[in-house]
Amino acid sequence: MELSYSNTINVPQGFAFDRATDFERFEKEGFGNLAPFEPRNDIKAPEIGARWRTAAEFQGRPRRFSLQLLELEDPGTMVLGNKSEKYDVEARFAFTAAGDEITEFTFSLNAKAQSITGKLILQTIQLARARIVKSMQLDFDAMGKRMEAAYQAER
């Protein structure tokens, strides 16, 4: 299963990347529809290998899952994922400078089932794809607007 999103954010690339990789804030507040990130190992972000537990509501129930920081290339790319016996998920966040104060943001999610249970989970998600895409678009549009507002407030 693949999902993607792209948007233009009217802030410098470095500013957008710094806001999107504010791991301390995620640990306290969460990110989008995700609950706060609970650290799960001794490795602290921004070090590769940092792990968290978080949750998101799906079909009316909170669903818990783990995330790991797989890649971090300042100021352009962050990859979070979960590789388990059930599924292999990779979420790539890319920030590309399109001008002094313009950043092209792209997000791509790639999920592959590694077991029958994983296939069932992904099939259930696939059935709700339109709702998930709409929610993702709203979350990322709001993220861009918050970045723009924060940038304007700092100027």
Nearest by Cα to 5 from 132, 148, 145: 132
Question: What domains can you pick out in the chain, each with its CATH number?
Answer: 2-154 (3.30.530.20)
Q: How far apart are CA 93 and CA 79, in angstroms?
A: 6
Tens digit of each residue's pLDDT (9 = 90 or more) over 25-56: 889 888 777 888 999 999 999 999 999 999 88
The helices-and-strands tally (H runs, E runs) of the chain is: 4, 7
Largest CA distance in the chain: 52
Tens digit of each residue's pLDDT (9 = 90 or more) over 109-137: 999 999 898 888 888 888 888 988 998 89
